Structure 1
Amino acid sequence: VDRPGLRAVPSLRYLQAAPPFTEHFYDSEDEGDESVDNGPTGGLTWDGRADRGQQQARIPLLSPFEMANKDESGVVAALSKAAYAHDFKAAFGDDVFERPDDAFDAAVEALGAFEQSSADFYPYSSRYDAFLAGRATLSAQELRGRVLFEDEAKGNCASCHLSRPSNNGEPPQFTDYGLIAVGVPRNAAIPANADPAYIDLGLCGPLRTDFKGRAEYCGLFKTPTLRNVALRKSFFHNGYFHT
């Protein structure tokens, strides 16, 4: 767990509305021009390879850079000895640990369900949310910043980091979930980058393998939400930029 990873840690908050990954995303008739192909969009990771919480939960459990379990059976063995093993059996069956494959699936199912907790993962509790709901005001400086953020001739941030409620009234997610190439510099602080042959190309690999060799997808990474961005210290997929 003390090994440096390959990418900046993405937020797990405000992912409940992320669409499953698709190569060809079209806005709904209510939200935009449904005839426009917006290209690769969706998923929960920087390269969109996990569509649901259960799939995403597998990654840190088995990654050598995170929880570093050797395999799924190692996860189950640790679970069977945990203080909450009794609760786990109560939820999934007294014999669940005798069925390692089912036990692992149950574990990631539980994590995926937890990530759907609105109070913990998408409370929409910011002052901006209160402003949109008519319960707070923004200062003159903040309002000028909002204009700059949304002005297509200036910041144009909102073209990707959507800042207005959807037509159904859902608060903005501050991302369009699209995968885009912005040309972030190589981060020398990532040990893997000491090898000139190692290149993180996002959608076309190396962590994602189903689009390997698809040159048109190389360098594409998902647009992250800007929610809670003030709490982050590193930015973009490789954490090259810092506050």
Structure 2
Amino acid sequence: MLSLGGVLACNAAPLPETLPGEAPPVPSSGEGGLPGTPEDSEVSAIFEDTLRREDAAKHGGLTQVERLGKLLFFDRRLSEPRGQACAVCHGPDTGWTGPNLLINLTGSVYEGAVRGRFGNRKPPSSAYATQAPILHLADAGQSAFIGGNFWDGRATGEKLGNPAADQAQGPFLNPLEQNNPNAATVVAKVCDGPYGKLFRSVYGANICRDVPLAYDSIAKAIAAYEGSSEVNAFSSKYDAYLEGLAELTGKERWGLRLFEGKARCSNCHTSQRGPNNEPPLFTDYGFDNLGVPRNLLNPWYWEFQFNPEGPFWVDLGLGAFLQTRSDYAPYARPNLGKVKIPTLRNVDKRPYPAFVKAYTHNGYFKSLESIVHFYNTRDVLPVCVAGDSNTPGVDCWPAPEVGLNINTVEMGNLGLSPQEEQAIVAFLGTLSDGYYEPTAD
């Protein structure tokens, strides 16, 4: 069996110059007050509005189970103490990912219900997550995995038949997120809450008497909402372009050609329709190690109660999860450092142009320009050396957090010009939902 400790000691231990220093001040999820930042009142307003609308005709065509899932998604009562709804970390105005500008600018990891407790990774987008298959080996005899949710794939989908439903149960009982003591507490909050009648209407009058079944049903309802046309809208400019309803600019078309050609983006971020004419998902739901540097502002490094390794912690991603399962442990080493390949849909969606989003699993990159430049030049520029007056992305890049299993085939030295990088960024801007309203099939 693989020893992760040995791997860390030999290959993945952080270099002294890459260790974080003193704990920086970290903004809380409720701070900011900036335009587009979903304050508690905004999340509550969406919840109350959803509660008032009693049928699909009044609520954008959502089914009853999808409406129930939306109420669960925006319900701030479902944490301990109350205040932490799913939407606090997955805001619609930012493409269902981190909606707080100040947090995105720094560690990119969001605070949980208990003040001062932070997780270890940036929140992924909950949009299009329901499309992920159950975690599985891509091919027999190989080590590549496909599917699952969370950055490390641990929401496999094996329990409830959908990784998004498995994922929905994780935050409720996580002390770093919604912090409920047990499933019964969550079920009681739902059954005794303002939409308990709707919950019983969807899942049966006796559903609340069976805690395990009720808890699973809560997760399935959230996944139903995440799979609805409100979240998986397929309403971007690129979707309109594929339907013949919009034209891309010359720069956007150039970016698309690069995306599918020289830049090799579409190798992992599929951009063409599927075999049954389904719209592209811009992910193959696989896993990759991009060689991303450590985010030294990640508050997890100082979360000593839950992270005894402190600043020496290394995110081994999928490989660390595989090590916890006897059936997958033999595949752990070739997957150390790999994380979920996210969809690029809504990658540039933001409430206003100056709003800062964070990119990659640890939020190291703060702009599309910087991450595209990293893909292009990671293996061209030297590794930054502590003490030198160097500028990451200009004359060097910091060392990767995990030096194993880095993708050197599809990225790192793409030979793109600055103008070509800009064209790719322009194309990525066409993937934001809300450009038009697709017609129902």
Q: What is the TM-score with the length of structure 2 in the denominator?
A: 0.49
| Aligned counterpart in structure 2 of residue 241 of structure 1, from 341, 346, 365 | 365
Question: In the alignment, residue 180 of structure 1 is paired with which amino acid?
Answer: D
Query: Aligned equivalents of 1:170 and 1:103: distance in 2?
Result: 33
Deviates more, 1:185-194 or 1:200-209: 200-209
Tell me what 2:258 maps to.
148
Tell me what 2:125 maps to.
11
Query: Aligned equivalents of 1:217 and 1:57: distance in 2?
Result: 24
| Aligned counterpart in structure 2 of residue 93 of structure 1, from 193, 201, 204 | 204
- The 3-state SS of whatever aligns with 2:345 is coil
Question: In the alignment, residue 340 of structure 2 is paired with which amino acid?
Answer: K
Indicate whether 1:168 and 2:286 are aligned. no
Q: Does the CA-based 8 Å contact 1:14-1:173 persist in structure 2?
A: yes
Deviation digits for residues 77-104 of structure 1 (CA, Å, limit 9, x no counterpart): 2223311112212223333323222221
Q: Does the CA-based 8 Å contact 1:24-1:39 persist in structure 2?
A: yes
Question: In the alignment, residue 14 of structure 1 is paired with which amino acid?
Answer: Y
| Aligned counterpart in structure 1 of residue 318 of structure 2, from 198, 203, 206 | 203
Q: Does the CA-based 8 Å contact 1:193-1:199 persist in structure 2?
A: no
Q: What is the TM-score with the length of structure 1 in the denominator?
A: 0.86
Query: Aligned equivalents of 2:186 and 2:196: distance in 1?
Result: 12
Query: Aligned equivalents of 2:276 and 2:142: distance in 1?
Result: 22
Indicate whether 1:77 and 2:188 are aligned. yes
Deviation at 1:173, TM superposition (A): 0.7
Residues 130 and 25 of structure 1, relative CA distance in 2, 3 Å threshold: farther
Q: Does the CA-based 8 Å contact 2:322-2:329 persist in structure 1?
A: no
Please show how residues 1-243 of structure 1 align to structure 2 within 5 Å: 1=113, 2=115, 3-25=117-139, 39-50=144-155, 51=157, 52=162, 53-117=164-228, 119-151=229-261, 154-194=262-302, 195-205=310-320, 209-210=324-325, 211=328, 214-231=332-349, 233-243=357-367
Whose Rg is larger?
2
Q: Does the CA-based 8 Å contact 1:200-1:206 persist in structure 2?
A: no
Q: Does the CA-based 8 Å contact 1:40-1:179 persist in structure 2?
A: yes
Query: Aligned equivalents of 1:220 and 1:45: distance in 2?
Result: 12
Deviation digits for residues 61-120 of structure 1 (CA, Å, limit 9, x no counterpart): 222232221211121122233111122122233333232222212211222222221x11
For the aligned residue pairs, the C-alpha RMSD in angstroms reads 2.3
Query: Aligned equivalents of 1:157 and 1:90: distance in 2?
Result: 45
Which segments of structure 1 move beyond 3 Å, counting only runs of 4 or more?
A: none
Structure with bigger helix share is: 2
Deviation digits for residues 185-208 of structure 1 (CA, Å, limit 9, x no counterpart): 112222223413422111122698
- The 3-state SS of whatever aligns with 2:214 is helix
Deviation at 1:172, TM superposition (A): 0.9
Query: Aligned equivalents of 2:186 and 2:154: distance in 1?
Result: 21
**Percent of residue pairs bearing the same amino acid type:** 39
Query: Aligned equivalents of 2:282 and 2:149: distance in 1?
Result: 14
* Count of residues in correspondence between the two structures: 231
- The 3-state SS of whatever aligns with 2:320 is coil
Deviates more, 1:39-48 or 1:190-199: 190-199
Unaligned regions of 5+ residues in structure 2, if any?
Answer: 1-112, 303-309, 351-356, 368-441
Q: Does the CA-based 8 Å contact 2:143-2:335 persist in structure 1?
A: no
Tell me what 1:29 maps to.
none
Query: Aligned equivalents of 1:13 and 1:175: distance in 2?
Result: 12
